[in-house]
Amino acid sequence: MYHDIVLHNGVTMPAVGFGTWMLKGEPGKQAILDALAVGYLLIDTAHMYDNEAIVGQAVAESGLEREEVFITTKLCRTRAGYELARQGIEESLARLQTDYIDLLLIHEPYDKALDMYRALTEAYRKGQVRAIGISNFNAKQYLDFIGSCDIIPMVNQVECHIYYRRKELQQTLMSKGTQMQAWSPFTEGKKPIFQEPVLQAIGRQYGKTAAQVALRYLVQQGISVVPKSSHRERMKENLDIFDVTLTARDIARIQQLETGKTLFGWYDD
């Protein structure tokens, strides 16, 4: 249904995934089932979200084969360390009701991130994980990190949206073989992105919404995205971005919105 991104180890990852931050309980599970039903094949969760179990349940109940769904999860501070990370991987596998994870990330640049990554690397070599990576690392942290890694991270998932495009970070990652993935492509409500006049005007040319233009802008530049929505119609809309190509002029107009500043205070680029 939609395009894939090929990671440096040959694993293919959907360009548009479904984010599950804040989804809990039965309503959360239903939202994930809805996402799978409308065509999402990448579901993004994390230890920190405390919802891996409902992701596992939804995938099991979806009627899809396990290998059709790409599951991403992340280990957080409570699993910072080699043994703790090993334990965390087993916990995730159990909660997700699966014998492998498609993409496993270290959620933040913890002091013990390299020890954690050793456990991820082992799990990758054993086939418990198909791809490994990091999240929320800025360029300096990333370059320091890969200086001590056996395996270059396949993905760095970071804050990225029209106001904070992070092109230099993407170029640094790409030069070493790491794919940039965007969390918060809609800014999690910190900016009125759906009312952004530039996006609305560009969208009108193509019969698309501001939200669709915001996602297409990133995906067209090789950044995979994990938007979140609890509304089935919006879920469909967020997938329906591959029948248009933004022009160089469109992209230049959107680039005028760039602030170079994080909206979440995670980064010091």
| Sheet hosting strand 70-75, strand order edge to edge | 18-19, 42-44, 70-75, 103-106, 132-135, 155-159, 179-183, 224-225
49 is catalytic: yes
Q: What are the two backbone dihedrals, phi and then psi, of residue 53, each rounded to the nearest 5 degrees?
A: -60, -40
Q: Catalytic residue among 2, 40, 49, 82, which? A: 49
Active site amino acids: 49
